[in-house]
Structure 1
Amino acid sequence: MANRTRPFAAFEWMIAWRYLRARRAEGGVSVMTWISLIGITLAVFALVATLAVRSGYRAQFVDTILGANAHVAVFPVVHEGPEGRLVREITDYEAMARRIAKVPGVTSTSPLIYGQVMAAANGRNTGVQVYGIHFDDLKKIPLIDHPQKHMGDLANFPKGIAIGSGIAQDLGLVPGDTVKLISPEGAKTPFGVTPRVNAYKVEYIFTAGRYDIDQTRIYMPFKMAQDFFNRDGVADQIEVMVKHPEQVAQMEPAIRKAAVEPVQLWTWKDSSGAFLKALTVEDNVMFVILSILVLIASMNIVSGLIMLVKNKGRDIGILRTMGLTEGSVLRVFFICGASTGIAGTALGVILGCLFAIYINPIFSLVNYVAGGGVWNPEIYGLYQLPAKLEWPDVVKAASLSLSLSFIITIFPARRAARMNPVEALRYE
């Protein structure tokens, strides 16, 4: 009759539950079991939180790249100019932009003037990157048209310039102020090259969310940039936005063909691919390390179960003499150990999810307690620690913890099942 007992019958759960809630004086759950529960909870919490921060950082980093930079930059190859000197400029940029815009998957194209200059105001100066762009094209840049924060009105851009909030803070600027831009490539005179200095009105201040963008970038109307950089009738490059940035490599041949002229392409993956690959390697290493932490926490279940089996040796002998099979005994103690793993995993997942959801107030508290400076945007590129819950990551963390807990539990449970009832009751 006992052989026909279905696995995990009600009486097996009842016995396991009695053992789990018994006081230690009665040979119940040991301190090691509580330690293993807390250990698994913290390990799973750390794993879920780390995976959420990893996903959030990667997602926000990529979003800021794609939201404020070209997916593909089209550069002309170096060629001989009208005066016999080597130049790198696009003369028929409007026609080239129209041809590239017709490539399937391309959403927009923007002729661009680019230069590095010095910005000065209020007795301070800083190096900046100037992007000359048409107003209609500027409005197509998501993190400029809809930034995290802004001052002024983007509609006034044709009358002046738009600058990053970092530049505005360094130079003490607000909308309506004037900033001087100094270019070392000025007019040629008998005494050498004279730097070009022009003053421009700040019409718009944006916070794109990337430190390096907000700290260095200035947008200037296209014609105004042509005049300032001596690029009359030419453009330095064409910025291309595509519908599916992840598939930009497959679009390169079509873009080259549409350009007609010999060009060089520089995609967003070329500029940030190495960093993203480094993030992937770091992610994998962190997952392995935290998985080992979960394994160590799960190993504590073994200690707790071994102590429980030792304390319950007499009970095991009595149950076996009453007809309980080895399989039933194994399942009783498996339920005891697995319950610890399930409870610890559930608590860890809940804490990890709460951490990811409320990361901003938690981070603010940590930053306040530490006196500030916990997160350096100059190093990480972002202003705050992001987190993004990806359910596949949560499932992966929970599955790993449960799998390890179940596997680890089998060994002491088998020891209990194979205990000889005669030996267990010999000295009783």
Structure 2
Amino acid sequence: MSRTPPPFAPFEWMIAWRYLRARRAEGGVSVMTWISLIGITLAVFALVATLAVRSGFRTEFVNTILGANAHVTVYPTSSRDEAGQTVRLIPDYDEMAVRVSEVSGVTRVAPLVKGQVMAAANSRNAGVEVFGIAPEDLSDIPAVADPETGRGDLSRFGEGIAIGSGVARELGVDVGDDVRLISPDGVKTAFGTSPRIKAYEVTYVFTAGRLDIDRTRVYMPFGEAQLYFNREGAADELEVIVSNPEEVGALTGPIQQAAGAGTLIWTWQDASGAALQAIAMQDNALFILLAILVLIATMNIISGLVMLVKNKGRDIGILRTVGLTEGAIMRVFFIVGASIGVIGTVAGVALGVLFSLNIESVYAVVDLVTGSGRDALERSGFFFPPAELRWGDLASAVALSLGLSFVITIFPARRAARLNPVEALRYE
């Protein structure tokens, strides 16, 4: 009693391997098949490299946003003081900061005093936003306390103020110079509120990497800011830093509960939602375009297999006469086409990973070829994103390429399986 061999039996792999190794003169793999192999390799390489650069750009963009900003901001709702004026202050900021810091996932909580004033020096004026913060909390802000981009001595922050490089450039000052801060809400007298003008020494100049921060932000010691803005014994808000900013949405509830009633939550994703949504839309459009590129490359498999089926018509007729079923013939040619897709995908992924791991060398070669300096371009506002490999992106690229290769291969493989052996051997 004869037994039907299982699908993808060893002899099917052997026949497919012989067809892959056969020369063009022997009716083997055609030039179109080699073209499809190279096309798939280049398409997958482009997909992996682009996804890596895209991920690196998003990470760098998020780091720029978070470099000098809070991940979560806790601020109070409006209330009225004894004089009937609307105020938004946190009187028990120390106790609230302790409660919020105990939330799992929170790494740092800092009370802030904020206010908008006019800065003046050298007959120049600039509107700035003052952040009153404790020296130990300022030293924990990575974009500010960066020794490579900052100038001055951050340990002397308690003796003066720290200003952004854009503010320093606009006012024409540097470390050691004095800057006058002018606030319209100053000393309250019997005749009303008079402006408050006070001079501070610039002890530190920082570069956060964002124009809106470097040109407008000034840091002042927390206690001095309380006196300057009439916030004695109170803070305007709490700055909260979490361990995983991407998952900040899961912490808003616990932070809100820990802060207590009469408070509101604002996350960095709320503040940058439009920019993040725009990046996500661009990412999706880019992935679709590259997927079309991979589809075009895999379509060449059809041309190569059609030519292979035509050249192997006599072999197909003989194999059918000796007992191979249509399914076996279909699997043989499916293995041939799928092997091309697998080899091209593996080669493309390898090239993409190699490119991503050596992105800095690639930028150096571009500088050498174009003759332009990268540092000069970066100072002019050009951005050279790093490449960040993610398992999800690699899995998407591999699944897309292999899926398209396998589906495309089915059609010429079915044509080979349905070839009539009588017609194939009629003129042999």
TM-score by length of 1: 0.82
Please tell me whether the aligned partners of residues 129 and 218 of structure 1 are also in contact (alpha carbons under 8 angstroms): yes
SS in 2 for 1:129: strand
Residue 29 of structure 1: aligned partner: 29
Residue 344 of structure 2: aligned partner: 344
Residue 112 of structure 1: aligned partner: 112
Give, in angstroms, the shift of residue 108 of structure 1.
Answer: 3.5
* 1:251 and 2:254 aligned: yes
| 1:391-410 aligned within 5 A | 391-410=391-410
One-letter amino acid of the structure 2 residue matched with residue 422 of structure 1: V
Q: 1: CA distance between counterparts of 2:350 and 2:196?
A: 60
Residues 1:77 and 1:376: Cα distance change in structure 2 (over 3 Å): farther
Please tell me whether the aligned partners of residues 119 and 125 of structure 1 are also in contact (alpha carbons under 8 angstroms): yes
Residues 1:220 and 1:365: Cα distance change in structure 2 (over 3 Å): farther
Residues 1:21 and 1:191: Cα distance change in structure 2 (over 3 Å): farther
Q: 2: CA distance between counterparts of 1:125 and 1:205?
A: 17
Q: 2: CA distance between counterparts of 1:104 and 1:8?
A: 53
Please tell me whether the aligned partners of residues 113 and 225 of structure 1 are also in contact (alpha carbons under 8 angstroms): yes
Runs of 5+ unmatched residues, structure 2: none
SS in 2 for 1:289: helix
Residue 298 of structure 1: aligned partner: 298
Residue 263 of structure 1: aligned partner: 263
Residues 1:396 and 1:363: Cα distance change in structure 2 (over 3 Å): same
CA deviations on 1:106-144 (whole Å, 9 max, x unpaired) are 443322111234545667665433211011222333443
Q: Comparing 30-39 with 121-130, which one deviates more in the overlay?
A: 121-130
Q: 2: CA distance between counterparts of 1:101 and 1:5?
A: 66
Residues 1:13 and 1:188: Cα distance change in structure 2 (over 3 Å): same
Please tell me whether the aligned partners of residues 120 and 180 of structure 2 are also in contact (alpha carbons under 8 angstroms): yes
Runs of 5+ unmatched residues, structure 1: none
Please tell me whether the aligned partners of residues 375 and 385 of structure 1 are also in contact (alpha carbons under 8 angstroms): no
CA deviations on 1:220-277 (whole Å, 9 max, x unpaired) are 21123234434444322222334555222222441342xx5x2333222322234334
Residues 1:86 and 1:59: Cα distance change in structure 2 (over 3 Å): same
SS in 2 for 1:144: coil
Q: Aligned pairs, how many?
A: 424
Please tell me whether the aligned partners of residues 55 and 387 of structure 2 are also in contact (alpha carbons under 8 angstroms): yes
Please tell me whether the aligned partners of residues 96 and 258 of structure 2 are also in contact (alpha carbons under 8 angstroms): no
**What value does the CA root-mean-square deviation take over the aligned residues?**
3.9
Residues 1:13 and 1:122: Cα distance change in structure 2 (over 3 Å): farther
Residue 353 of structure 2: aligned partner: 353
SS in 1 for 2:272: helix
Please tell me whether the aligned partners of residues 147 and 208 of structure 1 are also in contact (alpha carbons under 8 angstroms): no
Q: 2: CA distance between counterparts of 1:377 and 1:129?
A: 27
Please tell me whether the aligned partners of residues 316 and 424 of structure 1 are also in contact (alpha carbons under 8 angstroms): yes
Q: 2: CA distance between counterparts of 1:32 and 1:120?
A: 72
Q: Comparing 236-245 with 181-190, which one deviates more in the overlay?
A: 181-190
Q: 2: CA distance between counterparts of 1:49 and 1:169?
A: 39
Residues 1:305 and 1:169: Cα distance change in structure 2 (over 3 Å): farther
Q: 1: CA distance between counterparts of 2:217 and 2:109?
A: 19
Please tell me whether the aligned partners of residues 148 and 209 of structure 1 are also in contact (alpha carbons under 8 angstroms): no
One-letter amino acid of the structure 2 residue matched with residue 31 of structure 1: V
Please tell me whether the aligned partners of residues 2 and 325 of structure 1 are also in contact (alpha carbons under 8 angstroms): no
Identity of aligned residues (%): 60
Residue 161 of structure 1: aligned partner: 161
Residues 1:2 and 1:124: Cα distance change in structure 2 (over 3 Å): farther
Residues 1:97 and 1:322: Cα distance change in structure 2 (over 3 Å): closer
Q: 1: CA distance between counterparts of 2:195 and 2:360?
A: 46
Residues 1:248 and 1:268: Cα distance change in structure 2 (over 3 Å): farther
